[in-house]
């Protein structure tokens, strides 16, 4: 069997990590088996469509490098399939099911259905259509829907590739809608029709769709078609073991990109939400994930989304980048995050020099703004009290004046030259290197914690450092 899988999101919301984890597992399964990965946009729920959601799906997949292999002729070979462009297929299929006796027209109004649900709730009955129109023999009419004629007894069984044998009693399933009154198919009909026509062999989807599987299997049976194999993936929970939601922080894949997570780190992290190679391995390249991925290693227990682990992993991947690559990746974050007083465009050659100092401390690309801003700001803003620390204002002023005079005469403003000049000066001023270097650090960076002092000063350059020392003296006076 040549593996053919699909990722079929609905643009009723922006793609969250659960959606993209499903896409990733399908992509890895296809790549591991040398199969085909198909993207299909299920946009038939017109009322709930969210503007921009479809574009966000495509952007998220492209950002992670999850390429798909085929599409309709319209839009090119790599355009996704769009269900709203295939409506005639579903209408013809619904009509066929009615003609076969496997479906029927239902003219129940929304008001009648709402009254029916209220009565069921009051009597504590399970919700579901009461089959009022099942034997009326109605024909097509305005406002009517097409419902599937679910067998009232027996059971529907299937073998889930992760969970084993699963059985549903047919009496618990209602006569679900196949074709809505607006002529659009429901998820159930369009899903089954397209999976069959696209020759999908395996369906890897979230476990929330497990209850839909018996309906789909009954549809396959009515159409005389062989269903694909199913695997329902474990859900993703927050650290409090509640369903992952906005209160746990960012959940859409676009938010993680905008917060400065690397696509290679995000790919690695998402792969471990429900899958593992062994108890210790955590860092995997894309090629290693493709080579090692298998459904046998996917667990059944819910996966926990651990933001601290993602931050750690992202930091590891950031430090694997070359300085030049890191500089180019942080450039858009700096361009956006630095104040207008910083001249644009930012000098790439200068960013290449400061990148290693920022790269060593950053957990995300977005953090580069707060870690690197003092290198680029024309003037620093800070509390003058930070300059003195444990020193008296007089001692601090004297130390800054002496440092300024010493550095003005320094011909070698390199890391080595600065260290050779300033370490003896701390002793001459009878100040410990801690208080003295802390004073200089605040003067040239505006903060008490920064990258190594001599490296920072060497990158800033002689004239900017002297100007910042003059500004610090002015603040003290």
Active-site positions? 246
- For residue 34 the two structure tokens come to 């040398």
Residue whose pair of structure tokens reads 């998820």 in the numeric block: 187
Cα(375)–Cα(471) distance, integer angstroms: 15
The half-sphere exposure of 397 on its side-chain side, counting CA atoms within 13 A, is 8
Contact yes or no for 297/353 (Cβ under 8 A)? no
User: Residue 213 and residue 205: Cα distance in Å, rounded?
Assistant: 11
Q: Encoding tokens for residue 295?
A: 């459904």
The dihedral sign for the CA sequence 101, 107, 111, 116: negative
Q: Strand (E) positions, 330-420?
A: none
Helix, strand or coil for residue 41?
A: strand
Residues 327, 348: contact at Cβ < 8 Å?
Answer: yes
SS3 label, residue 377 = coil
CA 239 to chain CA centroid, nearest Å: 17
Task: Please give the Cα distance from 200 to 40 (Å, whole number).
Answer: 12
Alpha helices in 123-206 (DSSP H): 187-197
DSSP structural state of residue 366: T
Coil, helix or strand for 158?
A: strand
Residues 311 and 250: their CA atoms lie apart, in Å, by 13
Closest CA to 17 of 290, 230, 274: 274
Task: Give the whole-angstrom CA distance, residue 270 versus residue 273.
Answer: 5
Q: Which residues contact 231 (CB under 8 A, 6 or more apart)?
A: 160, 161, 162, 202, 203, 204, 205, 295, 298
- HSE at residue 57, side-chain half, CA atoms within 13 A, is 24
Distance separating alpha carbons of residues 65 and 61, to the nearest angstrom = 6
What is d(CA 476, CA 466) in angstroms, rounded to the nearest whole number? 15
Which residues does 24 contact at the CB level (< 8 Å), separation at least 6? 64, 66, 267, 270, 271
The neighbour count for residue 448, using CB atoms within 10 Å, is 11
């Amino acid at each position: 069997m040549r593996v053919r899988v699909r990722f079929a999101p609905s643009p009723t919301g922006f793609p969250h990590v659960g959606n993209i984890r499903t896409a990733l597992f399908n992509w890895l399964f296809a790549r591991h088996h040398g199969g085909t990965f198909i993207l299909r946009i299920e946009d038939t729920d017109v009322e709930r469509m969210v503007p921009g959601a479809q574009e966000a799906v495509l952007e998220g997949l492209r950002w992670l490098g999850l390429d798909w292999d085929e599409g309709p002729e319209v839009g090119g070979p790599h355009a996704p399939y769009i269900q709203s462009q295939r409506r005639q297929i579903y209408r013809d299929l619904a009509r066929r099911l009615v003609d076969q006796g496997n479906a029927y027209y239902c003219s129940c109004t929304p008001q009648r259905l709402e009254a029916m649900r209220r009565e069921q709730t009051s009597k504590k009955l399970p919700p579901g259509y009461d089959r009022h129109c099942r034997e009326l023999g109605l024909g097509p009419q305005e406002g009517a829907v097409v419902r599937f004629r679910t067998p009232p007894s027996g059971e529907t069984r299937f073998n889930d590739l992760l969970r084993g044998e699963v059985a549903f009693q047919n009496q618990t399933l209602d006569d679900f809608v196949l074709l809505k009154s607006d002529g659009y198919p429901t998820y159930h009909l369009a899903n089954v029709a397209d999976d069959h026509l696209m020759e999908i062999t395996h369906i890897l989807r979230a476990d929330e769709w497990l209850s839909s599987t018996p309906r789909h299997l009954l549809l396959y049976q009515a159409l005389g078609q062989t269903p694909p194999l199913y695997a329902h993936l474990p859900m993703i929970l927050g650290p409090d073991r509640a369903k992952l939601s906005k209160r746990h922080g960012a959940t859409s894949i676009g938010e993680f990109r905008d917060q400065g997570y690397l696509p290679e780190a995000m790919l690695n992290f998402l792969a471990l939400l429900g899958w593992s190679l062994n108890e210790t391995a955590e860092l995997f390249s894309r090629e290693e994930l493709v080579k090692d991925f298998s459904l046998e290693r996917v667990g059944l227990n819910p996966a926990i989304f651990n933001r601290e682990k993602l931050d750690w992993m992202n930091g590891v991947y950031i430090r694997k980048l070359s300085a030049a690559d890191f500089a180019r990746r942080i450039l858009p974050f700096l361009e956006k995050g630095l104040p207008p007083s910083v001249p644009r465009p930012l000098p790439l050659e200068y960013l290449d020099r400061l990148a290693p100092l920022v790269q060593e401390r950053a957990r995300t690309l977005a953090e580069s703004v707060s870690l690197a801003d003092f290198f680029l700001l024309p003037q620093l803003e800070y509390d003058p009290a930070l300059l003195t620390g444990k020193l008296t204002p007089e001692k601090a002023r004297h130390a800054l004046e002496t440092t300024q005079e010493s550095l003005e005469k320094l011909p070698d403003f390199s890391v080595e030259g600065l260290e050779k000049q300033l370490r003896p000066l701390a002793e001459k001023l009878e100040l410990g290197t801690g208080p003295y270097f802390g004073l200089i650090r605040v003067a040239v960076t505006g903060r008490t914690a920064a990258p190594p002092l001599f490296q920072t000063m060497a990158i800033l350059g002689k004239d900017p450092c002297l100007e910042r020392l003059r500004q610090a003296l002015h603040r003290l006076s």
